[in-house]
Amino acid sequence: MPSIRPDNHVQLTWAGDHRFDAGRPGGPQIRIDASAQTGPSPVDTLLSALGGCTAVDVVDILAKRRTPVEALRIDVQGERHEGTPRRVVKAHLVYHINGAGIERAHAERAVELAVTKYCSVRDSLDPQMPVTWSIVLNGV
């Protein structure tokens, strides 16, 4: 039987206009701003969560191979539905990974596992929504 973890609990506090401060009660806060003036929009936050969730796994997987990541940037492009609601219908992630000794096959496997197996954010999204990725390893 799988272990059950406690539910996550976050609070959002209205900060005026279309701005909200969000986070765990008593914990760090992020600003979510539908106008994207003082923080990322809700959709940008969703795409950031997808990228961030997979990034943790990529870093951990490559570290376990004893080829630690020296630098990582992920560009996340979300395609949105034209109608209402303007939901995200596709996401593409480009992983810019730098690190001595990281082999392309290992980087590709780390990203594949992160996106398809380990990322709880990805698994929380519509399973029919395509999430694709590519890798730029050490500038190539």
Determine the Cα–Cα distance for residues 50 and 24; give it in Å rounded to an integer.
Answer: 19
What are the structure tokens assigned to 135, written together? 């890798």
Ranges of each domain in the chain: 1-39, 42-137
Residues 89, 129 contacting (CB under 8 angstroms): yes
Question: Nearest CA to 139 among 104, 95, 96, 93?
Answer: 96
Q: Given 2.60.260.20, 3.30.300.20, 3.40.50.980, 3.30.450.20, which CATH number is that of 42-137?
A: 3.30.300.20
Question: Nearest CA to 59 among 101, 99, 92?
Answer: 99
Residue in the block written with tokens 């109608």: 83
pLDDT tens digits for range 7-65: 899 999 999 999 999 999 999 999 999 999 999 999 999 999 999 999 999 999 999 99
Q: The pTM is what?
A: 0.92
Dihedrals φ, ψ of 56, to 5°? -60, -45
Residue 2 has pLDDT above 80, yes or no: no
Determine the Cα–Cα distance for residues 99 and 32; give it in Å rounded to an integer.
Answer: 33
Residues 6 or more apart whose CB falls under 8 angstroms from that of 35 comprise 17, 18, 19, 41
pLDDT band at residue 1, thresholds of 50, 70 and 90?
A: low
Instruction: Tell me which amino acid residue 87 is.
Output: R
Residue in the block written with tokens 């992983």: 95
